[in-house]
């Protein structure tokens, strides 16, 4: 009996070892999750960086805002922290035209800036948010200049095609339905065509 139990013990060690080997072979590399909120659904669904293919532009739909403020708000909403990779200030909460990257960019994590229906654009899409309600008000000159510069730089760095630069509302669902995100974001006052060459 004792020998049999020992046999089972060795089998289980062997299985655990081969499972560990197989599962690490499927990883894409080390993922640095230093964020403390690991408990919410959006965070768990976040996948490691696998290469940026899209740029998705958003507005905050608020008069004021900052990386810190959005981070607090999105954490409360259960998005595992600020949804975007970059925020461009409008002078209310951040300097006018100031670009700040977030922990998602610093750690090369996927975003949570589009809905679950278009998840591909969270995993492969760089999310940029302009502070302001651009449905009612134009972005500032400094914001547009900063946005154009940032988009140009990211396109060059990751060879992202112009057709893959979107306003949030232009992003299509992952399925073949052809449906688009149900949102007015980034607002009608943001001239998306000015970002195309």
Which residues would be at the binding site for Zn ion (CB under 5 A)? 58, 168, 185
Give the C-alpha separation, 102 to 69, whole Å.
Answer: 12
Q: How far apart are CA 179 and CA 60, in angstroms?
A: 23
CB of 183 to Zn ion, least distance (A): 6
Closer residue to Zn ion (CB): 28 or 125: 125
Token pair listed for 79:
């998005």
Least separation, in Å, of the C-beta of 42 and Zn ion? 15
Residues with Cβ within 8 Å of 69's Cβ and at least 6 positions away in sequence, in order, are 93
Nearer CB in complex with Zn ion: 71/168: 168
Residue 134 token pair: 């651009």
Of residues 109 and 171, the one with the C-beta less far from Zn ion: 171
Beta strands in the chain (DSSP E): 54-59, 86-88, 99-101, 125-130, 165-167
Nearer to Zn ion, 74 or 168 (CB): 168
Smallest separation, CB 152 to Zn ion (Å): 21
Q: Which of 133, 115, 126 is nearest to 169 (CA)?
A: 115
CB of 56 to Zn ion, least distance (A): 7
For the bound state, the minimum distance from the C-beta of residue 83 to Zn ion, rounded and expressed in Å, comes to 8
Taking the least distance from each CB to Zn ion, the nearer of 109 and 118 is 118
């Amino acid at each position: 009996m004792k020998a049999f139990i020992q046999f089972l013990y060795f089998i289980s060690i062997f299985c655990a070892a081969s499972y560990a080997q197989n599962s690490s072979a499927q990883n894409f590399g080390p993922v640095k999750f230093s964020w403390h909120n690991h408990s919410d659904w959006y965070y768990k669904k976040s996948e490691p960086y696998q290469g940026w293919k899209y740029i998705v532009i958003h507005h905050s739909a608020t008069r004021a805002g900052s990386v810190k403020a959005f981070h607090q708000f999105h954490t409360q909403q259960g998005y595992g922290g600020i949804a975007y990779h970059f925020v461009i200030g409008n002078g209310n909460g951040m300097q006018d035209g100031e670009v700040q990257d977030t922990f998602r960019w610093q750690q090369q994590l996927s975003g949570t800036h589009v809905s679950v229906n278009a998840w591909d654009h969270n995993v492969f899409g760089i999310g940029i948010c302009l502070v302001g309600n651009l449905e009612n008000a134009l972005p500032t000159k400094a914001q547009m200049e900063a946005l154009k510069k940032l988009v140009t730089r990211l396109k060059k760095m990751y060879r992202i095609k112009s057709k893959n630069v979107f306003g949030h509302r232009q992003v299509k669902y992952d399925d073949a339905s052809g449906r688009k995100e149900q949102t007015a974001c980034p607002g009608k006052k943001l001239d998306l065509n000015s970002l195309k060459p």
